[in-house]
Each structure stands twice: as structure tokens, then as C-alpha cells.
Structure 1
Amino acid sequence: MPLVRYPGFDDYMKAVQQPDVFTTDELRLLELVVHPVFGIPSPASGTSAVVFKATESGQAKALRFFTRADAGNGQRYNALHDHFVARDLLSAVALPRWIDDGIRVNGRTWPVVRMQWVEGHTLNRHVDELVSRRDTAALAALAETWRELVNRLQRADFAHGDLQHGNVLVDDRGAMRLVDFDCSWIAAFASSAPPSETGHRNYQPANRAWDRWMDTFPGLVVYLSLLALAKNPERGALNTGENLLFAQQDFQPPFATPAWSFLSGLRDGGIDDLAARLKRCCSPGWTATGGLDALLAPAARPWWERTSTVVAGTAPTAVPAPRGPTTTPATPTPPRVAVRNDGTPTAAWWKGTTPAPPEPVSKRPRVRAVLTVATVLGLVVALLSLAIDFDAPGGPIALALGVVAFTLAAIVGLVKGSG
């Protein structure tokens, strides 16, 4: 079945200037804002729709008219509306509401999406102003605001599908809100065919998957761009009017384009780390499997680098705590072994008391030995005296001496025998 040809930009411009263009009271109550000089509505056009500004009771609204049949349908937009309300995303998106057959153009009716009007500039225009003022602090703050916004949307199970400078509106406080949900994803669309639109070429990888994590790559592209400009706002010719810093050719190896040279010239470790991560995301076949926060998380170190190593001679020596005064315990004296005269231990020697030390041996000759010598000498003298002739001169004296010696020898013998 061929697709129906939708009205174009000029068709809608002519139609909205007619008094009976809208078919519902809700839309008839709106007043289109006209150009202050030309006096006619001045819409903004995109790849799949034309957007007009209108007011209702002083409140600004946006009316979106489709130029392509595959840009959206009522079922999708109603599901998105309910999802945004349920997940508390009203401050992050311009809440859309689908209106069937809301406008009459070229003899037939067409759908209209009514949205909140967000006062502010598109992201690229806002960045241009900050760059011209060299407001690096505001650029750095804008980068963190962007990161928080993307993480918030991904935690809410929502993927925009076309994150780029033209779909992000920034107010004068620096707050961001998203518009244009033609190729958005929520869990209710998981079994649906992907839309034909695949996002802006200067923000998307090749062969992008349409799923929950498809915003991770463009989220990193914008985040790195803003941080790099916060380091050096002089981007020169890198800004083509259709990007912030990168273009489609920058996502192809060998990454030798001026954009990569600009990043390396910043000589900033944080920028270098983010650039390396973006290069890995540009690898053939890469697909996001997690959110921007997971992609930016510190890389896990291998276990061999996490294990602590102590090099000999370099480890600090622990200083012992001061100790109180101590006394050296007395060394116990082993028990003395009681022995007999032959040197063998007595029975149950281990139970005995310690014997008194032996008396020192006297160096004088023993009395018994002296008496023995005297006895022998006395006997010798007695025998010699008996052998002497009594009648010989001195015989009686010799005999007397012999008797005395014999008597002494006898006495000594008796004493020795009794000892």
C-alpha cells in the first residue's frame, strides 16, 4: 500500500492563514503568533514536520504538523504522553498530545501534535553564544546538565532516538528540554518495527540499533563536545552549523580528522580519556549495551594490577608500641642427681632433695697411711735388733730399741685394726 503524500511546508503556511483551518474547538481557541514585520506566522521546519507557535490565554503552545506519513501516529504519541507523565519527565520533555484530524489542508484533514512551547534557544545557538563570550564556566556547567539529563531519561526507560543540537532547547537558566519524538523508544514499542528516521548523521554511529540504549552514543558525542569547548572555545571551522564539534566523517578510523587533532591539542587527561572511549564506540559492530553513566564509569583494573605488591626494602616497618619495665625470669636450676660412690644414680633420684656439696679433700696424708708406714718401719727395726749379738758392744741398747719398736708396731697394728 503506497504511503499517503502529506502536505509540505508551503501547504501548511497557506492553510493556517485561513479562518476555518482547524476542526476542533481546542485548536480554534489558539491564536497563531505572527512575524512582527510581515504579519504572518513564521514556522520552524524540520525533516519530518513544521512547527508553529500559538498562544492560549497568554500561555505559549507549539503546533506540530507532519510532512511525512511515517513520522508518527496517534498510538505512538499517546503511549509516549502516558509514559512521560508516569515517569515524571514533564520537566525534561515538551509534553506532546496527539489530535486526530485537527487541521484541514488541500481538501482533507491531517493529524496535529499539540505540545508545550519551550522558551529558549536550540542547543547549537546557545553554545554559539557561550563560545562567542568565551564563557568556559557556563560551557562546563552545560556539559554536566546534559549528562544528568541523558542519565535521567535512560533511567526512565526512554530513548529519544534523535539527540542532536536542534532537538534540545535551552532556556535562559541553562535548563534543557527535548522535543521531536518521532523515532523515540519505550518498552511498549519493543515489538514494533523501527521508524525510518535514524537520527542526525553528525551524532549517530553507523548501523545504529533502535533500542533502549541508542542515546548512549550521541549522549557521549554532545558531552565530549561541550567539555572540549569549555577547555578551548576556539573551535574555528569545526562548527559547520550542523554540529557542535564532530561530523559524520569523524566517526571513521583512523581518526585523523581536524576534530581529533583539536582534542589532542588540548592536552587534557580527562578529554583524552573520553576521546578514547568515543573511538571505541566507533568500532565496527559496536552496539551500546548500557547507559551513558555506565560508558563513563572508570575502567576496571585487571586483578594483577589491583593486587598489592611489597618490594623488599621499601615496605614501612611497624614501630612496636612502648612496653613497660619487665624482669627477666630466673632460670630454674635443674635438680642435682644423687649418685652412689660408683657414679650411678640412686633409685628415684628425681624425687630426692639436693645433696650437700662434698667436703674438699685434704692434701695432708691420711692418718691410716702414716700408721701403716710406722708399723712397717717398727717391725723392720725390731727384726734387725733381734739379729744383733747381745754380747756385742751396744747389744743391750739395740735389744732395748728393738723391744720398743716391736711394742710400738704392735700398738700401731691394734690401732689400725680398730680403724
Structure 2
Amino acid sequence: MPTKLGDRMLLGMKYPLPDQYNKAVQNPELCFSDPELKTGVIELNKLGLPFVRCGNFSSVYKVILPDKEQAVKCFFNYYPDIKFRYERISECLHTRNSPYFIDFKYQENGIRVNGKNYPLLLMDWITGISFDKYIDECVKAGDTEKITALRDSFVSMCKQLQTDKIAHGDLQHANIIVTPNGLKLIDYDGMYVASVTLTQSNEVGHPNYQHPKRTRFNYGETMDNFSVMVIHNALTALISKPALWEKYYNGDNLIFSEKDFSNTNQSPLFRELFSTDVLKTQAALLAKTCLMPLDKSPDFLALLDADGSVSADLLPEEIHLQPETVSSVSTGNTPKTPADMVLCPKCTSAQNAMGMFCNTCGYSLINEKPPQLQTIQTAKPFKLPKFKTTALFFLVFSFVLFLYDNTKTGPVKNFTFDDILTVAEQFLSKGRVEKLTKSIEADPVNPASYYQRAMEFVKAGSYDKAIEDFTKVLKYEPQNAKAYLNRGVAFGMLGFQKEAVTDYIEAAKLGLKPAQDFLDSKNIKWKTDNSKEQEFLKN
């Protein structure tokens, strides 16, 4: 998700944009303050430009030195406590000598851009493959044993972090690298160690791996608990049902997404996991945790057996995952429900009142959202009124205008038929926006409603609001080419041509022909080389 321009300003300090860093690093001897980096060579892409791994908060470059390779991380945002954080983290990691972290140095005035000095992070370059790409290779090869071994290695790493009282803060596929020497963690911006005596983080982690109620103030040694649960659930599910990968992996997750956590009751993935005996208990624990306050979440690692499964015997008393099934014979009369039983609001079967899910249909019996939300669908497309209604409307409206034109004061403006159509369309559009807004309030993770409302904003000329809604669509559907194209149009109407072209290129890469034709007509390159990258470092 792109970083907002407003997020780049804090306490009066403005950091360079990615393209400004790109220009600076082309001259290592001038931009770097480190004598060793001055002698290095920046890795270039096929166009002869710096090969940059650009994330939401930083750009990372590979610097090739005579005897080694280094990674240089340049920041987009200014945080007043970043030096303090990295110094405490560095001290802790040197003390622990953990095999899961990479040695780094924080340089306060490490890089010079446009005549000003900015900090950078210098670390050893590691050769490996990202967590999700490794899983992708295992699934395609049908090798579930490697996925099992990966899960065991992941659990061992997390237990060691817990013992050392260290929390990464953003455990996700891009920050876990599979190397020949084992797992390595990168991106320490949000890390917690005991010596960092702060009460909040500068980030909240990847939404596809974080508890839906997490904020910057959820900062401490237990903040990785939910992410560990998500990743372990995903690996366990893929060991049992590898086909889930192709169905739910979208390039920015493992199999779970933010939408699954926000509304477990409507999640197709959770329903599929609940239907499998091997996965039901662990998936239900994750779904239950999504509904609980974050600080009440159970210690997931403490619930694991030696074989990697969740032990039902170790579950806290407040978590009841498998309600008893109570069968009843239909007699044509309303079934009686004992005091300790409830009726499922979806299928009406009797369930244990202390249970979490309906044992018949899987419905969440303690879902925070009311049952009727299951029936809410995407807002229906607008249909014009019947011809008689439209004709009557224009007849009455024209008569009112005729009377007004013949008053003593005379008309203020000579209205035309096009003026009448414009007024009518504005009135109808306002109604559609209000209806879509209500749909969004009822189901805030439905990208279709955001898309329809964004199109209404485009028609009304409210391009800034349209951009906000298109960005929401892309948050939930990162492969939506039309959203990229239309957001580009909105950017263009506001004069942000660079942002517009960037969105056109994304739409073209996703196969949208109008975007491709437009870029080709302007001689703008949009095709990329899709060859696999063996060396991986992303922030």
C-alpha cells in the first residue's frame, strides 16, 4: 500500500522521495559518509539504474564491495526515536548473539541527498528466498515434508525469541528469509527489546498478519503472538490441504487476509478449515482470538504439542472450541431449547450455549456483528425509473420553470433541457452515494461497494474522495486492474501526473488493455521481466 505524502512529514522533518534516493546512490563516493561504502558499486537493473527494493517505509539497495555485499536501507519517514530504538536493539542482539538476526549499523548522517544528510541502516546482505516464495516452491513440487520442516523451524525461532523476550513486531512473509543457514529476520523498525523503554511502536505491522484491534500502543514482548498463530495455522493447513495455496494465496499473504480476521463469520477460508477435523480446533482458536481483546489473547506457543498441533487439554477455560452436538427430531412443533442450549440464528439447530461455532453449519455464535449481516450483498446497480415516472417528473418540472419565466421579475437564467438533466443526475447520484455509504458502514471490508462509490465520486468531480475509495479497493483487492486505472484518472484530473502514470502502469501489468494501449501511444514502458529473483531482501 503506497505511503501517503502526509505521512512523510513529522515534527517539521521531510525525508527524500524514492526517486531522490535513486539519483543520489548513483554516485556512492559523493552520497555516502562511510569510507567503505564510498568505494562500493550499486547493483543495477537491466536499464542501468539502481536496483531498488522499495517498501512502504524504505528503499533498500545492494552495495557490492571487493570482499562482501552490503544492504543499505534509506528511510522515507522521520521518527525522532529511531536512533534510540536501533541503538538499544543493536546492543540487545549483540548480547544474545541470535542466529536469526543480521548484524547492522545505524548511521545518523549516512547518506547525503540534495545537500542534506539523512540516516541509513547498513547491514550484511543475505542470499535466500522469501518465506512465501519458498512455500510456493514446496507446494508446486508437492513436498509437504519441507513445509512441515519449515513449520518446525519457525516454531523453534519463535520460542527462542520468546525466551530472549524479543518481539519482531511485523512477522510476515517478506520479513522472514529462508537461507541455507536457516531462517533469518529482516526489518527491525518495530522490534521490541526490554531496553527499549517506550510505550508504542512506529508501525502496526502487515494487516494480513495482525490482530484486527492492534494499535501502535500494543507494543511489548507478546505482540508477535497473533502473527505466530496466523503463520502456524497457514503452514498446518497447507500440510494437510496444499490446494488451499492456489485458492487463497494472493502474493501478499500466506493464505489468511485482513478480511478473514475482520469478519470470521463470512470468511470462506475459515468455513473450509472448520469443515476439516484435523484443522478445526486450531482454526477455531484463531477465529476466537480475532474476536477477543488483544491483551486477552492466549499464549499460542504454550498450547502446542510436540507434533505441532494445538493441545485441547491446554486451552484456557474461557475458550470452548467444540460444542456438543445435540440432535433433535423434527416433530413439526417448535423444538424446546434447554437453559444451557441456544438455537443457531442461521440454521436453527440446538447448540451448547457456551460454544463458539454452530456444530452444524459453522456459524459464529458469538460474532460481534449481527446475524443479518450475512445477507448483505453488494449494493445493486442503479436502475432508471420507469418511463412514465420520468416523463411525469420532467413535465411537472418544466411547468414550474414556465411559470417562473413568466413572473414579473423575469427569470434569473434561461434553463435548458441539459440543465434539467444535470440537476436530476446530481440528485440521483447523491442518493446512490448515500446508499453505498450505508452499505459500507454495514460491511466495511466489501471492495465492491467502495468501487461503486468511487465511480460516483468521479462522475461528481470529487476526485480526492474517489482516490480514497479506490485505495480502499486496492487494499482488499490488490489485483484489481480497473481500480488502478480509474484511480490514475482521478490523480490525473487533480494534476498528479506521476501518480497517474504509476497507476496506469500497474493496470497495464495486470493485463488491462486500455491502459496498455494508452501507455504504448505515449511510448511509456510498462512491461517487466518476470524472471525469479534468487537473492531477496525486501522491507
Between the two proteins, the alignment pairs up a number of residues equal to 297
Structure 2 partner of 1:114: 122
3-state DSSP class of the match of 2:74?
Answer: strand
Structure 2 partner of 1:67: 76
TM-score by length of 1: 0.66
The correspondence for 2:202, drawn from 192, 196, 200, is: 196
Q: 1:91-106 maps to which residues of 2 (within 5 A)?
A: 91-106=99-114
5+ residue gaps in structure 1? 304-419
Structure 1 partner of 2:189: 182
Distance (Å, rounded) in 2 between the aligned partners of 1:197 and 1:71: 14
Structure 1 partner of 2:37: 27
The correspondence for 1:206, drawn from 209, 212, 216, is: 212
Conserved? CA contact 2:264–2:270, under 8 Å: no
3-state DSSP class of the match of 2:159?
Answer: helix
3-state DSSP class of the match of 1:125?
Answer: helix
3-state DSSP class of the match of 1:70?
Answer: coil
1:172 Cα shift? 4.4
1:289 Cα shift? 6.4
Conserved? CA contact 2:303–2:314, under 8 Å: no
Describe the superposition over 1:109-160 as per-residue Cα deviations: whole angstroms up to 9, x where unpaired: 1111011212111111211121221211111111111111111111111111
Describe the superposition over 1:210-243 as per-residue Cα deviations: whole angstroms up to 9, x where unpaired: 1110001001101110111121221233111110
Distance (Å, rounded) in 2 between the aligned partners of 1:32 and 1:280: 48
Instruction: Name whichever structure is richer in helix by fraction.
Output: 2
The correspondence for 2:94, drawn from 65, 79, 85, is: 85
Distance (Å, rounded) in 1 between the aligned partners of 2:196 and 2:303: 24
1:194 Cα shift? 1.2
Conserved? CA contact 1:27–1:102, under 8 Å: no
Q: What do you get for the CA RMSD once the two structures are aligned?
A: 2.2
* Gap change, CA 1:159 and 1:268, over 3 Å in 2: same
3-state DSSP class of the match of 2:110?
Answer: strand
1:72 Cα shift? 6.1
Structure 1 partner of 2:267: 257
Conserved? CA contact 1:139–1:230, under 8 Å: yes
1:255 Cα shift? 3.0
The correspondence for 2:56, drawn from 41, 47, 59, is: 47
TM-score by length of 2: 0.52
| Structure with max Cα Rg | 1
Q: Which amino acid aligns with 2:302?
A: A
Q: Which amino acid aligns with 1:196?
A: N
Conserved? CA contact 1:165–1:243, under 8 Å: yes
1:302 Cα shift? 10
Describe the superposition over 1:258-310 as per-residue Cα deviations: whole angstroms up to 9, x where unpaired: 21133234x243x222112212211231326675422436334899xxxxxxx
Q: Which amino acid aligns with 2:220?
A: D
* Gap change, CA 1:72 and 1:147, over 3 Å in 2: farther
Match status 1:145 vs 2:185: no
Distance (Å, rounded) in 2 between the aligned partners of 1:276 and 1:285: 16
Q: Which amino acid aligns with 1:230?
A: I
3-state DSSP class of the match of 2:266?
Answer: coil
Describe the superposition over 1:308-362 as per-residue Cα deviations: whole angstroms up to 9, x where unpaired: xxxxxxxxxxxxxxxxxxxxxxxxxxxxxxxxxxxxxxxxxxxxxxxxxxxxxxx
Conserved? CA contact 1:103–1:109, under 8 Å: yes
3-state DSSP class of the match of 2:208?
Answer: coil
Q: 1:120-135 maps to which residues of 2 (within 5 A)?
A: 120-135=128-143
1:57 Cα shift? 3.0
5+ residue gaps in structure 2? 1-9, 306-310, 318-539
1:181 Cα shift? 0.8
Structure 2 partner of 1:247: 257
1:40 Cα shift? 2.8
Conserved? CA contact 2:213–2:294, under 8 Å: no
Distance (Å, rounded) in 2 between the aligned partners of 1:301 and 1:223: 17
1:64 Cα shift? 0.5
Conserved? CA contact 2:44–2:50, under 8 Å: yes
Conserved? CA contact 1:213–1:290, under 8 Å: no
1:180 Cα shift? 0.5
Identity %: 29
